[in-house]
Structure formats: structure tokens, C-alpha cells
Amino acid sequence: MKFFTLFGSPVAHSISPRMHNLALKGLHVDGCYTRYHLKDGLKLRESFYKLRLDGANITVPYKEDALRQADFLDAFAKKIGAVNTLVNKNGQLHGYNTDALGFYRAIASFKDIDSVLILGAGGTAKAIASILKEKDIKTTILNRSNKRLGFFKDEGFEVYTWEDFNPKRFSLIVNTTSAGLKDDVLPLHKPLLSSLMKKADYAFDVIYNKTTPFMSLAKAHKLTCKDGADMLLCQGVLAFNLFFDNKFNETEITNHMRGAFSL
């Protein structure tokens, strides 16, 4: 039997176990995917082996711990500085990041994106900015504070704080902040966000399972909108196939996992 888990804190809210268990069952794999509330990120590797896992996903706030504790890193995960998928290969931990490609696949229906504004500068922003750069899409980062902008500056992105931002047109605005997750606040003050949305075509919020104030405002401005559900689904499909050395058909995994969103 194969064993998998989701490490994070908190993990109770996540639908990843449901997604993966539906895929395991649907594809007739003798396996089980659980959730594990990890209190100390330094114990990630130790916990992985204690649980005799074949693979794991890592969520907030341990993606950087996973990066440091893996034996081998996929080049893209190394570049982003965050690992959300660990695979046990002959006793050694291989680290990957599927959030970035998951996001890119989730926006496949957004056509002709020429410029993107990312709100926030955390781990998710790094993943999204890196994949957009790889796809040659001009990307600007706007964060409320300076403290996490170093990575983006070093990577050659245009970066701003609320104080020095010079508004212009962006075709897609992405909220990667946690504003709206547990509260009802916008990730940017309303007059500025409204003026940006007036000129934009698309809005994407990485948060899923609720209509955030960011999404409500984007809908009021009649933007084409998406929340983080498809990103979660796509990163899950990619992670599942990493667990099994790409032996399953992605469409089939997707169809099974999609059931987790309709329960």
C-alpha cells in the first residue's frame, strides 16, 4: 500500500486529501492520502520517514523547510525557493514545485495576457512570477511592505510598495496575498485597486472556496475572474503524477480529483 500526506499548519481546511483519495480510488491504486498538522517545520523530514510515506504535499508555512530538507531539488523548485511536493525515491527525498505550473494551467483560458500585476510577495507570488517570467509575460510585483521584495528585484522584476507604486494598465491582476482569507479586507486600498481594475481584462485570486472582497470588486468591474480552485486542482494533478512517475493520464486524474470540489 502507498502512503501520502499533506503537511502544513493549519491543514484541517484543505481539500487536497479528498482530491488525492478520489484519484487513488478512481485509478484503482492501493493507497491512502492523509493530512498531518506539523507543528515544527524542522521535523518535516523526520516525520516523513516516521510515517513511512511514499510522497507528500507541503502547504503553508513549510514550503521553504521542505526545500531545505530535500535530498534532490527540481531546478524550478530551487529557483523559486519553495517545495510543495516531496517524492520518496529509493529512500531519498526529491522536491518539486507544482504551484507555478498549476497557476499557469489555470489561466489557460485567459487569452492575450501581455502584462500582469501580482499583489503580494510571498511564496505563492514567487512561484507565479517565476512561471510568468519563463513564459515571457511582463510581470510587476506590488506589496504592502518592502521586506520580501529582494527575490523579485534580484530576478529583474519591476517591484513596488504601496508608497512608490506608479499605476498603469495591466491585463491581469493576481491576488496572492492572504487578505480576504480569514478576514474581509482588500489586498490594496479600494480607490487604487478600482482604478487598476477599470483598465484590466482579468482577475485571479489564489484563494478558493469563498468570494473574497478582491473577487467581489473584480466582478463589479466586470472582469473575467477565476479563484484558486483550478490552480489547486492543477497543482494536485501534477503532484499526483510525480508520486507515480507520470504513469497516469492527466485527464483521468483531473476527472477523478474534480469530484472533490462538488462534495
Whether 133 is catalytic is no
Cβ-count burial 94-104 (b if 16+ within 10 Å, e if not):
bbbbbbbbbbb
Shortest distance, CB of residue 152 to ligand NDP, whole angstroms? 10
Selected catalytic residue, list 63, 79, 126, 226: 63
Minimum distance from residue 130 beta carbon to ligand NDP (Å): 13
Write the CA distances from 148 to 19, 126, 142, 199, integer angstroms.
Answer: 32, 10, 11, 27
- In the complex, least distance from residue 148 CB atom to ligand NDP, rounded to whole angstroms: 4
Report the interhelical angle of 190-199 vs 213-220 (nearest 10°). Answer: 50
Residues 223-262, mask of contacts with ligand NDP (x by CB under 6 A): -----x--xx--x---------------------------
Cα dihedral 249→253→258→260 (10° resolution):
180
Q: Which three cell numbers stand for residue 62?
A: 513549510
36 binds ligand NDP (CB under 6 A): no
- Give me the 133-152 binding string for ligand NDP, x by CB under 6 A, dash otherwise: ----------xxx-xx----
105 is written with which cell numbers? 494551467
Catalytic positions, written as ranges: 63
**Which residues sit at the interface with ligand NDP, rule CB under 6 A?**
60, 99, 102, 120-125, 143-145, 147-148, 176-179, 181, 185, 187, 206-208, 228, 231-232, 235
